């Protein structure tokens, strides 16, 4: 069972699931493939795979949930009613490859940042749609 599914409250439903962009891990993939001959490359490829697979992002009808980490865990959970703005930051490469960083600002909470998100505009659209 995923982290997101395990923390859903009664009546809470997932309306959108996000993920980390594979493009944000590009240099891990390149370095891993180049160093496969030496044997270190496999470790680098495994680290990249774990970073991608151990991050869970979801928008529910009540909150935004983000979980990072495999052994250690960092979570961000923000009630939709507390979110005042959703900012999307994309580099030129991020715009071309459709990934970016999302920054949430809200009442009583410091800024929460979700880095390297695939399709950040879709994620923002899901958050704004769930707030209605």
The pLDDT value recorded for residue 108 is 72
Taking the C-alpha atoms of residue 88 and residue 17, their distance in angstroms, rounded to an integer, is 17
What pLDDT, on a 0 to 100 scale, did the predictor assign at position 109? 62
Mean per-residue pLDDT, 44-67: 94
As a whole number of angstroms, the distance between CA 93 and CA 98 comes to 8
2-54 per-position pLDDT tens digit: 999 999 999 999 999 999 999 999 999 999 999 988 888 999 999 999 999 99
Q: Where are the domains of the chain?
A: 15-131
Rounded-to-integer distance, Cα 55 and Cα 74, Å: 10
Tell me: domain 15-131, CATH 3.40.50.850, correct? Answer: no
Per-residue pLDDT reduced to its tens digit, 85-117: 999 999 999 999 999 999 999 877 678 999 999
pLDDT value at position 38? 83
């Amino acid at each position: 069972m995923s982290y997101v599914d395990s923390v859903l409250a009664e009546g809470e439903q997932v309306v959108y699931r996000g993920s980390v962009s594979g493009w944000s891990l590009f240099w891990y993939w390149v370095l891993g493939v180049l160093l496969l001959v030496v044997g270190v490359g496999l470790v680098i490829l495994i680290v990249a795979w774990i970073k991608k697979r151990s991050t869970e992002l979801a928008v529910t009808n009540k909150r935004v949930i983000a979980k990072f980490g495999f052994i250690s865990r960092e979570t961000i959970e923000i009630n939709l009613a507390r979110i005042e703005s959703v900012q999307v930051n994309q580099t030129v490469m991020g715009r071309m490859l459709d990934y970016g960083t999302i920054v949430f600002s809200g009442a009583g909470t410091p800024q929460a940042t979700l880095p390297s998100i695939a399709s950040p505009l879709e994620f923002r659209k899901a958050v704004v749609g769930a707030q209605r």
